[in-house]
Amino acid sequence: MGLRCLTLVVSAWLSLSTASAAVSPFAPGQSGHLFTLHGSNTVGARLAPELARDYLLAKGAESVSIRAGQKENEYRIEGRGPAGPVYIDVAAHGSGTGMSGLASGEAQVAMASRPIKASEEALLADYGPMRTFEAEHVVAIDGLAVIVHRSNPVEALTVDQIARLFSGEVRNWSQVGGPDRAVSLYARDNKSGTWDSFKSMVLNGRFALSRDARRFESNDRLSDSVAADPGAIGFVGLASVRQAKALSVSQDGTQPLRPEPLYVATEDYALSRRLFMYTLPGRTPPLVREYIEYVHSRAGQERVAEVGFVSQNPVSLKPELTAQAPVSYKALVGHAERLSINFRFDEGSSRLDNKARWDIERLARFMTAPENRERQLQLIGFGDAEQTEHRALVLSQMRALRVKAALRDRGIDAASVVGFGSDLPVAANKEGVRLKNQRVEVWVFDGSASQRVNDAKDDMELRRAAERDSVSSRL
């Protein structure tokens, strides 16, 4: 799809998403059941019901409430419209149930806390491709928090250590720098997308969960159990840390990071993940489409943050740079603030992925806000170590150019792009996670800092030229 065509598609989808006031009022005579969501407990326990409540209110419904259903983790969001009662149903029994609900017609939206599986794509193949922009919607970013009791002195673990703890290979906290205390394990159940994410990101086919682990359908119940057990370790969605303590996590060769909003939003945190809603391509009912658009709106993403996940509304922050950052990188961003957006791409492609397509619009909206109109954008591309150093550098620059071109189509100019190749990895260089290193960071700086930023770029190019000359002289 060309960039201009892409812009038109995104603009069409976002036509109602600039503010809740753009949601259309109920059609004459519209009442009763509007649509149903099935799937992830992470998405469906609070986020989807509260978004549904906000959506009904934005449409003009009155006396809107969220009522628990007869079964645990089921809810009815109901209110009164001009023509009578209106309601939306949510059943949050695990990501897999969302896909089966779409297939059976029982649900019009599938909630998932991990990407759709190949087997689920096959199940829904008759309805069209499920990874397209029309079908796959990233509604929030979540950090898969690894939690312990607050009295536990351990502050950071590697992904490998976490895997060995949950497999039962490590049975005492003293083996990972903690007290001489037995480890007790708390995990989500097999239907949970949180469990699927943990299994994929942590156990990764190398380890199996210990049979001693206690299993939970609810994130909140798991977290409360960990908070009451000094020997406990568990994993939950970011919104469910509650009274437990979240640990910093690292992968091979990366800096340990806590599941803080900036690092989760940019997906630099090792156990960050996307939360999804899926709809059937070409068969999305108008009200469902409007609900999805509301979720993506500024108001919808503010609700995402209030619930405890990480909003996709851009914010600028001044992060602490890691010791591993190259000198030229530190000089380049020393006068700038980082935005909570990382642009990523379809696997094996230079195409912006589905989240990035929405982020182009969000970033354009951010830059046209009155308080940001005098600020300038700096795009910094990164690659992975799978390619040669030169190829990684070239590809990182090309990715940044791709984002620059998409922004230009939205009327936003960015400063000249910069690539840093395979420097500053945020994920291990191995299958399944390497893709996270292929990214474009977004930094903003005031016009008064333009000369200093340009000087930093010139100095970087001089350093690179000197390095190339040094290599040539040794050959």
What pLDDT sits at residue 467?
Answer: 65
One digit per residue, the tens of pLDDT, for the chain of length 475 reads 333 333 333 344 444 333 333 799 999 999 999 999 999 998 999 999 999 999 999 999 999 999 999 999 999 999 999 999 999 999 999 999 999 999 999 999 999 999 999 999 999 999 999 999 999 999 999 889 999 999 999 999 999 999 999 999 999 999 999 999 999 999 999 988 889 889 988 998 899 999 999 999 999 999 999 999 999 999 998 889 999 999 999 987 788 999 988 999 999 999 998 999 999 999 999 999 999 999 999 999 999 999 988 999 999 999 988 878 889 999 999 999 999 999 999 876 778 999 999 999 999 999 999 999 999 999 999 988 777 888 889 999 999 999 999 999 999 999 889 999 989 888 877 766 788 889 999 999 998 888 888 888 888 888 777 666 555 555 5
Alpha helices in 106-256 (DSSP H): 118-123, 159-167, 193-198, 219-227
Number of H helices, E strands in the chain: 15, 19
Tokens of 19: 């503010």
**Cα 465 from Cα 233, distance rounded (Å):** 50
**Cα 191 from Cα 258, distance rounded (Å):** 27
Apex 221 CA angle, 215 and 227, nearest 5 = 100
Tell me the β-bridge partners of 343: 440
**Cα 435 from Cα 438, distance rounded (Å):** 5
Task: Yes or no: say if 77 and 58 are a contact pair by the CB < 8 Å rule.
Answer: no
Q: Which domains does the chain have, with CATH numbers?
A: 15-138+276-307 (3.40.190.10), 145-265 (3.40.190.10), 316-474 (3.30.1330.60)
**Cα 417 from Cα 380, distance rounded (Å):** 6
What pLDDT sits at residue 74?
Answer: 98
Alpha helices in 30-104 (DSSP H): 41-44, 47-58, 95-104
Q: Which residues of 82-110 are buried (b: 16+ CB within 10 A; e: fewer)?
A: beeebbbbbbbbbbbbbbbbbbeeebbbb
Q: What is the pTM of this model?
A: 0.83
Tokens of 142: 């979540």
**Cα 129 from Cα 136, distance rounded (Å):** 10
